[in-house]
Chain A
Amino acid sequence: EPEVTQTPSHQVTQMGQEVILRCVPISNHLYFYWYRQILGQKVEFLVSFYNNEISEKSEIFDDQFSVERPDGSNFTLKIRSTKLEDSAMYFCASSEIRGTHDEQFFGPGTRLTVL
Chain B
Amino acid sequence: GDSVTQMEGPVTLSEEAFLTINCTYTATGYPSLFWYVQYPGEGLQLLLKATKADDKGSNKGFEATYRKETTSFHLEKGSVQVSDSAVYFCALRQSNDYKLSFGAGTTVTVRA
Chain A residues proximal to chain B, CB less than 8 Å: 3-4, 6, 31, 33, 35, 37, 40-45, 48, 55-56, 58, 91, 93, 98-101, 103-109
What residues of chain B lie closer than 8 Å to A100, measured between beta carbons? 32, 51, 95
Closest residue to A48 on the B side, CB-wise? Answer: B98
Chain B residues proximal to chain A, CB less than 8 Å: 4, 32, 36, 41-46, 49, 51, 89, 91, 95, 97-105
B43:A3 contact, CB within 8 angstroms: yes
A33:B89 contact, CB within 8 angstroms: no
B44:A106 contact, CB within 8 angstroms: yes
**Are A43 and B102 also in contact (CB < 8 A) when A91-B43, A100-B51 are?**
yes
What residues of chain B lie closer than 8 Å to A107, measured between beta carbons? 43
**Could you tell me the distance between the alpha carbons of A109 and B39 in the complex, rounded to whole angstroms?**
12
Question: 30 A-B pairs, CB-CB below 8 angstroms?
Answer: A3-B43, A35-B100, A35-B102, A37-B105, A41-B104, A42-B4, A42-B103, A42-B104, A42-B105, A43-B44, A43-B91, A43-B100, A43-B105, A44-B102, A48-B98, A56-B97, A56-B98, A91-B44, A93-B44, A98-B98, A100-B95, A101-B51, A103-B49, A104-B100, A105-B43, A105-B46, A106-B36, A106-B43, A106-B45, A108-B43
What residues of chain A lie closer than 8 Å to B41, measured between beta carbons? 108
What residues of chain B lie closer than 8 Å to A40, measured between beta carbons? 104
Further 19 A-B residue pairs, CB within 8 A, beyond A42-B104, A93-B44: A6-B43, A31-B98, A40-B104, A42-B102, A43-B100, A43-B102, A44-B102, A45-B98, A45-B100, A45-B101, A48-B98, A48-B99, A58-B99, A99-B95, A100-B95, A103-B49, A106-B44, A106-B45, A108-B42
A33:B98 contact, CB within 8 angstroms: yes
**Could you tell me the distance between the alpha carbons of A33 and B51 in the complex, rounded to whole angstroms?**
21
A55:B98 contact, CB within 8 angstroms: yes
What residues of chain A lie closer than 8 Å to B95, measured between beta carbons? 99-100
What residues of chain A lie closer than 8 Å to B91, measured between beta carbons? 43
**Could you tell me the distance between the alpha carbons of A6 and B41 in the complex, rounded to whole angstroms?**
12
Distance to closest chain B CB from A90 (angstroms): 12
**Could you tell me the distance between the alpha carbons of A9 and B67 in the complex, rounded to whole angstroms?**
38
What are the nearest 8 A-B pairs in CB distance? A45-B99, A106-B43, A43-B102, A48-B98, A106-B44, A108-B43, A56-B98, A107-B43
